[in-house]
Amino acid sequence: MSDATPSSSEVPTAPALPADRPVLEVWCELQCPDCHRALGDLEALRERYGDQLELRWRHFPLEKHRHAFAAAQAAEEAFEQGRGWAYVAKVLGRVTELDRSGEQFLVRAAGELGLDAEEFDTALVDGRHILAVDADQAEGRALGVTGTPTYLIGGERLAGGKSQEGLRQRIEAIVDRHLSAGA
């Protein structure tokens, strides 16, 4: 489970973050075209709220996508190496290449971002992130996640698989309510 809040450089900021800031959990998988379409909304939320909103990438690989589980493990390695959100965006932007080349593409994409591609390859072989991916998926199922993307914020589950239409506005309303209640 990756709960690092992204920033444009993905380097942690020095000031302490508010403990009561809202958390948006995003249940996605890297072979999902709907998750690719959700990236624009996530970036807009990051720009609007910055450190006031904690974004957490949660893995929910779907069985219908044969490379989704490996991609989830690779994303976990990218978060561990400090470039998770950049890696997620890169892989989601090239879903067709992932479909075609699988793990080779996942390792190559890591290298393109300046990550330790050899360590990615090793992580995919030794399975060091399998438990994290399995835990996210199990928690998602327990919370009623059935498809991707699914958002969980302020106790509300919002499914974005059929349409992203209006989801960002609903998320913003929940975040704004939370932030105004804490002010």
Q: What is the pLDDT of residues 28-85, one digit of tens each?
A: 999 998 898 888 899 999 999 999 999 999 999 999 999 999 999 999 999 999 999 9
Please state whether the peptide bond connecting residue 33 to the residue before it is cis, i.e. omega within 30 degrees of 0. no
Q: Report d(CA 81, CA 88) in Å as an integer.
A: 13
Q: What is the pLDDT of residues 161-175, one digit of tens each?
A: 666 678 889 999 999
Long-range contacts of 179-183 (CB under 8 A, 24+ apart): 179/21, 179/22, 179/52, 182/18, 182/20
Tokens of 87: 């890696």
pTM: 0.84
Question: Do 150 and 25 contact (CB within 8 A), yes or no?
Answer: no
Tell me the C-alpha distance between 28 and 161, whole Å: 10
